[in-house]
């Protein structure tokens, strides 16, 4: 069996340690062999982006495939470009999303703009493990620089929302792009929607993100305070490759991804009833709001490609994750930070201030824990805690979710590192904390017993 390269979000590692030019060149040859046609390549703003772009492109061209270089783009902009062109057989996004600047990675995109399936990744891994012959000298591929893909993506978003309603609302927002891939596209989107933008970290400085790249409440304090100080209608903060974003109320309060998902689910269902898809890790807040709005919720395993493909299978009208990754099928089946901005602006323009909408949501308390756990112990840990969860309703869609009368706890192995994650939720804050601590202790004691 070929070595596994791809994690839940592509191939990632530290530059010149895990991600070397030699390794990426071979990966490019494998990708070119499997995709078997023209490949579009884009990147975020990381310092190492050019190195990886040249190496991956050289590999693709070495096996006779042509490369379109789209420059710096959000991941969903690359996905939109690939999806809308029948002559392109796939895409490669060079990004490590929210990881620190010394990391970078390769994410593969299928011909239809969705993230590559596990089967496609396995085919690339199989080729990667082989000696891949190059094409004859007169059949090597060529590279072409393509301009304008970002604006094309922005125009597509504008066409999918009620742009007139947004423009008439004359909104003002604070925008933090983490000096990442959306540094041009998101300001341009706001301009085309007549939204006054106060920007922060909107320069292409991948080695100096201005803040930790993951848009958590602790990491985006500058834009939280700026939104409040400027009396803006809302604030927006992206991750590095802008397939996700989080929002901020006019009084500078962080709006978690589960709340954004709930609000936009409710807004979507006000226009059309249907299915909403989200992972088992998402707050029960979303299910309560969806059901109250006349919709039906479907739960999947964790991972945006899994959510997207379930949406495609079921004809769902909306979906997303609790980390700010939202999927709009009218645009494309992938997480789309730009589309999330436009839809939230439309929601505010038509349904009222974000602050007021958030205040009407049910209150749940969610506690998250991460525990170091060797990969070869993950299966044993799952079996142990399932046996220790007597009296709960057990769901094994992803890891083990134990549902109680007053809340639930999800224990699942990380797909990207040797760790176990515990999510505990309840409408009672004390219960949420106590149950999180109980399961954390349970896992640690079991591991300690095993390794004595």
Catalytic residue numbers?
A: 97
Tell me the β-bridge partners of 247.
236, 255
Spatial distance between the Cα atoms of 305 and 118, rounded to a whole number of angstroms: 10
Token pair in block for residue 310 = 């379930």
Distance CA 332, CA 318 (A): 11
Which residues lie closer than 8 Å to 383 by C-beta, 6 or more apart?
A: none
Nearby residues of 119 by Cβ (< 8 Å), 6 or more positions away: none
Quickly list DSSP for 296-343: EEEEE-SSHHHHHHHHHHHT-SEEE-TTS-EEETTTEEEE-HHHHHHH
Cα distance between residue 345 and residue 351, in whole Å: 10
Q: What's the rounded Cα separation, in Å, for the pair 52 and 44?
A: 11
Rounded (to 5) percent helix, strand, coil in the chain: 40, 25, 35
175 touches 198 (CB < 8 A): yes
Sign of the alpha-carbon torsion through 81, 83, 84, 87: positive
Which residues, 6 or more positions from 194, have their beta carbon under 8 angstroms from its beta carbon? 166, 167, 170
At residue 267, the 3 state secondary structure works out as: helix
Range 24-58 burial, b when 16+ CB lie within 10 A, else e = bbbbbbbbbbbbeebbbbbbbbbebbebbbbbbbb
């Amino acid at each position: 069996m070929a070595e596994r390269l791809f994690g839940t979000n592509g191939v990632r590692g530290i530059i010149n340690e895990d991600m070397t030019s030699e390794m990426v060149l071979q990966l490019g040859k494998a990708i070119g062999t499997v995709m078997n046609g023209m490949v579009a390549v884009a990147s975020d703003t990381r310092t190492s982006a050019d190195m990886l772009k040249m190496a991956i492109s050289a590999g693709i061209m070495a096996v006779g495939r042509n490369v379109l270089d789209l420059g710096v783009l959000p991941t969903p902009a690359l996905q939109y470009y690939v999806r809308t062109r029948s002559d392109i057989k796939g895409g490669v996004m060079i990004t490590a999303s929210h990881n620190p600047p010394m990391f970078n990675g390769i994410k593969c995109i299928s011909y239809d703009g969705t993230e590559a399936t596990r089967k496609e990744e396995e085919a690339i891994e199989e080729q990667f493990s082989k000696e891949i012959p190059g094409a004859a000298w007169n059949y090597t591929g060529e590279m072409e620089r393509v301009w304008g893909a970002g604006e094309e993506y922005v125009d597509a978003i504008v066409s999918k929302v009620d742009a007139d309603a947004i423009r008439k609302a004359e909104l003002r927002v604070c925008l933090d792009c983490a000096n990442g891939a959306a540094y041009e596209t998101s300001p341009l989107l706001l301009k085309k929607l007549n939204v006054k933008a106060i920007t922060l970290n909107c320069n292409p400085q991948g080695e100096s993100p201005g803040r930790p790249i993951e848009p958590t409440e602790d990491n985006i304090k500058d834009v939280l305070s700026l939104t409040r100080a400027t009396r803006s209608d809302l604030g927006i903060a992206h991750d590095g490759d802008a397939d996700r974003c989080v929002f901020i109320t006019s009084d500078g309060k962080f709006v978690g991804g589960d709340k954004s998902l709930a609000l936009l689910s409710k807004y979507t269902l006000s226009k059309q009833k249907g299915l909403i898809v989200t992972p088992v890790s998402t707050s029960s807040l979303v299910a309560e709001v969806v059901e109250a709005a006349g919709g039906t919720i479907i739960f999947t395993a964790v991972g945006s490609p899994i959510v997207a493909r379930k949406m495609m299978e079921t004809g769902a009208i909306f979906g997303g994750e609790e980390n700010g990754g939202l999927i709009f099928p009218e645009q494309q089946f992938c997480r789309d930070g730009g589309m999330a901005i436009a839809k939230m602006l439309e929601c505010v323009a038509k349904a009222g201030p974000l602050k007021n909408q958030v205040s009407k949501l049910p209150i749940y308390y969610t506690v998250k824990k991460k525990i170091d756990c060797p990969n070869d112990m993950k299966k044993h840990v799952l079996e142990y805690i399932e046996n220790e969860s007597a009296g709960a309703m057990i769901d094994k869609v992803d890891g083990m979710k134990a549902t109680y009368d007053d809340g639930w706890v999800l224990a699942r192995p990380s797909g990207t590192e040797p760790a176990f994650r515990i999510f505990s939720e309840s409408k009672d804050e004390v219960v949420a904390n106590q149950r999180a601590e109980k399961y954390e202790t349970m896992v640690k004691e079991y591991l300690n017993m095993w390794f004595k």
